Structure 1
């Protein structure tokens, strides 16, 4: 069974403008999601989808049998960011789960011989490691003793990726010295990056016994943001913030980063996937 996580950047819209009725990158996203060909995919940042798409619309658009989508109802971010799950697995129950300051999706998949798999699709706060810690701690208080997968955009880095992240950011600033002159460099980018470098969230997840689906293979530890579509341009590939974590009962193989030209145009994040067995 292949599962995937993909931050699709403002729901396929070119920005977070409420005037647009149809996502400008929808056709690209349809091609990208078809290329990934996952049995279960969590889509992150599905801005406005709850307003403009019914579940049956999304089933038809992406050719999936089951769909569940929510607004995240974030207390800080005043825009309709959302989460969407697409799957061809029929025996599944979905639930919106509150993480105090925003919501996530729980999917409970039922297998033969009374096996149950819980998959949580999450999108953690983009500014504060403290907020991310609160959100992930709240999630752990709600997890059942089933085999569990937590995946999505964590806006957090693994301790193994600290050096790579620092080196990438330093290289980016050297190539793009004017980036420091942006109004949001000191107000957003610099404090956000500094908060990530605290590296508190991922160690907490690992301490709970979950395993990073990337494993130890260095080729799998590639940054997932930013693609050339972002305003950081061609040299913006800096951070690994999209993750898939699994409890130890779950066997994983064939972790994959998607870097084809299609994915450079479809979102500012690259998608990831892994094959699992119970």
Structure 2
């Protein structure tokens, strides 16, 4: 009997869903006007909820990464409360636990992964100076590994350290997607539209004019080193938007392409696009369809 049930289980695995709609969106301090811990509720709560509902219902995004989800574990009462608030079956909040951010902005900054897929495994990822979230979704024959991250916003060297740590935390030889706000710029805009290439030229000029002693200057100068994306690619991952190279921030006039979906050779990703928004955040959502290969 046990042999029969094992065979039936293996056969059922091969009939499991192999495709998902996936997306990532930086929601800017969790919808709050600031990181002030005394604020009672996110001012943009309903606006963010409306965008998420649109992504879920209209764009068929069944697995969504939300970065900069400030205090969401407290506001919505943990993972089940977050899932219910967003209209997803499951959700995981992971605090970044970054010492610099905790010192400057408080300990509430984290990331959320919401999904309608069954989560087979979930674990916090040690990224050296902060945490990410790794899950294995019940997609395809052997599962789909998704790493949800929000990388350092000031130092390219810190991002490189975090990325090397991320690579060591991943389960090898699995269909894998890396998703989130990487705070990193592509080294080349070859193949992108003239409009996008012109915006990138403006970013390069900005990096040389901003003060290296102020936060904005540190951020732009650090990103302009453009070493993080090549490192990710050296690990065997492909930028899902390598053709268009769409910028995602700031939302009203996007010039920085910092939000990404990366995938290895065991996953195919297409239908990549950004979703226009108005005031709900300072980043555009980035969405796509992902399919596990050879399931």
TM-score bucket of the superposed structures, by smaller chain: 0.7 to 0.9
Residue 16 (structure 1) aligned to one of 22, 27, 35:
35
Inter-partner Cα distance in structure 2 for 1:170 and 1:237: 14
Contact 2:147 2:177 in 1 (8 A): yes
Please list every run of at least 4 consecutive aligned residues from structure 1 whose deviation after the TM superposition is greater than 4 angstroms. 162-166, 170-173
Q: Is this contact kept in 2: 1:64–1:86, CA < 8 A?
A: yes
Q: Mark the runs of 5 or more structure 2 residues left unpaired by the alignment.
A: 1-19, 191-196
Aligned partner of residue 240 in structure 1, secondary structure: coil
CA contact (8 A) 2:127 2:162 kept: yes
Q: Is the 8 A contact 2:63 2:117 kept in 1?
A: yes
**Counterparts of 1:164 and 1:142, CA distance in 2:** 37
User: For residues 186 and 206 of structure 2, what CA distance do their matches in structure 1 show?
Assistant: 20
What do residues 56-111 of structure 1 show as CA deviations (whole Å, max 9, x unaligned)?
Answer: 22222111111110211002112221011110002432211111110000011123
Q: Do residues 155 (structure 1) and 171 (structure 2) align? A: no
Task: Give me the CA root mean square deviation.
Answer: 2.1
2:72 alignment counterpart: 49
Q: 1:23 to 1:159 in 2, by over 3 A?
A: same
**Equivalent position of 2:201 in the other structure:** 167
Query: Is 1:256 equivalent to 2:234 in the alignment?
Result: no
Q: What is the TM-score normalised by the length of structure 2?
A: 0.81
Report the Cα distance in structure 1 between the residues aligned to 2:284 and 2:29, rounded to whole angstroms.
14
- Assess if the C-alpha contact under 8 Å between 1:13 and 1:23 holds in 2: yes
> In structure 1, what is the Cα distance between the partners aligned to 2:24 and 2:198?
22
1:129 corresponds, among 135, 140, 156, to: 156
Residue equivalent to 1:233 = none
- Per-residue CA deviations over 1:212-237 (Å, capped at 9, x if unaligned) read 11132x3xx22111124xxxxxxx52
Deviations 1:190-244 (A, max 9, x none): 222111111111001111111111132x3xx22111124xxxxxxx522100001
Residue 106 of structure 1 corresponds to which residue in structure 2? 134
Q: Aligned partners of 1:152 and 1:187: how far apart in 2? A: 25
Structure 1 match to 2:88 = 64
Distance 1:39 1:92, change over 3 A: farther
Moved more, 88-97 or 126-135: 88-97
Task: Identify if the C-alpha distance between structure 1 residues 247 and 76 changes in structure 2 by more than 3 Å, giving closer, same or farther.
Answer: same
Shift of 1:31: 0.7
Structure 1 unaligned regions, length at least 5: 174-178, 229-235
2:44 aligns with one of 25, 32, 47: 25
Q: Is the 8 A contact 1:74 1:103 kept in 2?
A: yes
Aligned to 1:227: 251
Q: Deviations over 1:220-273 (max 9, x none)?
A: x22111124xxxxxxx522100001000111111001111xxx22110110101
Q: How many residues align?
A: 256
